[in-house]
Copies of this chain bind each other. A is one copy, B any other.
Amino acid sequence: MDTEVLREAPLFSGLDDEAAQALSASMDHSRLGRGEVLFREGDEGDRLYVVTNGKVKLGRTSADGRENLLAILGPGQMFGELSLFDPGPRSATVTAVTDCTMQSLSHDDLGKWLDGRPEVARALLEQLAVRLRKANDVVADLVFSDVPGRVAKALLDLSGRFGRATSEGIQVNHDLTQEELAQLVGASRETVNKALADFASRGWLRLEARSVLLMDVDRLKRRAR
C-alpha cells in the first residue's frame, strides 16, 4: 500500500512502472510515533523524505524558544529537499503529528536519478516552484491579513488536503492542537482560540477534538481574503 501512495507522489510523476519500482526499491523506510522528532534544525543530513502515512510538521524555533510551523505534510508530500540542493544543515525540525511512516532517499542515490532522468529533475523543479509560491503567499498573508483571516485560510487549506465531505459540511481531521494551529498561522494560542470561537458562534464551523467541521465554506473564504 505504501507503493500506491508513492506512485501518487509528485516525485514519481512521469516515471513508468518499472522506473517507479526501481526508485521505490532504493528507498529506506522509517516510522515515527506522535510527537517523535525525525531531525532537528541545525542537524546534518541530506536525505529526501516522502510521507507514506500520517502527518508531520516542519517547524523552526526562534532564539528565545518560540516555535513557528512552516507546513503540515501528509501522504505523498515530500520534505528535506532543501539540504539536497542548498547544502548545509537542516533548516527546520520535523516532528510527527500523528503516528506515521515514510520513505527516504539519499542525496547520492537521488543524484543518479537526476542525471539520467530529466523527468525526475522536472518533477523536483515543479515541486520546489509550488513550495516557493506557497511560501510567498504565506508572506503576503502575514503582511496583509489579520489573525482571524489567517486562521480561516489555514482551515481551508487543511480542508483541501485532509477534508472529507459529509452531510453537515466538510469534516477536517487535522490532528493539530490549537497551539500547533497557532504556530502554523504565526499567532498566539489564545488569539487563535478566540478566532475559532467567533467563527463557531457565527455558525461557520463546529469545533471538535483535533478536528473541525466546516459548515459555511463560502463565508470562511470571504473572511480569509
- Which chain A residues have a beta carbon within 8 Å of chain B's beta carbons? 60, 62-63, 66, 68, 70, 81-82, 84-86, 91-92, 114-115, 118, 121-122, 124-126, 128-133, 135-136, 138-140, 142-144, 186, 225
Are B68 and A132 interface neighbours, CB within 8 A?
Answer: no
Most central of A63, A86, A115, A131 by chain B CB within 10 Å: A86
**Chain B residues positioned under 8 Å from A122 (CB to CB):** 85, 114, 121
**Chain B residues positioned under 8 Å from A143 (CB to CB):** 62, 68, 142, 186
Are B121 and A91 interface neighbours, CB within 8 A?
Answer: no
Given contacts A114-B121, A121-B118, contact A85 B140 (CB under 8 A): no
CB-based nearest B residue for A64: B144
Q: What is the count of identical protomers in the complex?
A: 2
Given contacts A82-B132, A85-B125, A142-B186, 8 further A-B contacts (CB under 8 A): A62-B140, A68-B144, A82-B129, A114-B118, A118-B118, A125-B128, A128-B128, A132-B132
Given contacts A118-B121, A135-B135, A225-B63, contact A86 B140 (CB under 8 A): no
Q: How far is the CA of A106 from the CA of B7 in the complex (A)?
A: 31
22 residue pairs from A and B, CB less than 8 Å apart = A60-B140, A62-B144, A70-B136, A82-B129, A84-B125, A85-B126, A86-B133, A91-B133, A91-B136, A114-B121, A114-B122, A118-B121, A125-B125, A125-B128, A132-B135, A135-B135, A135-B136, A135-B139, A139-B139, A139-B142, A142-B143, A143-B186
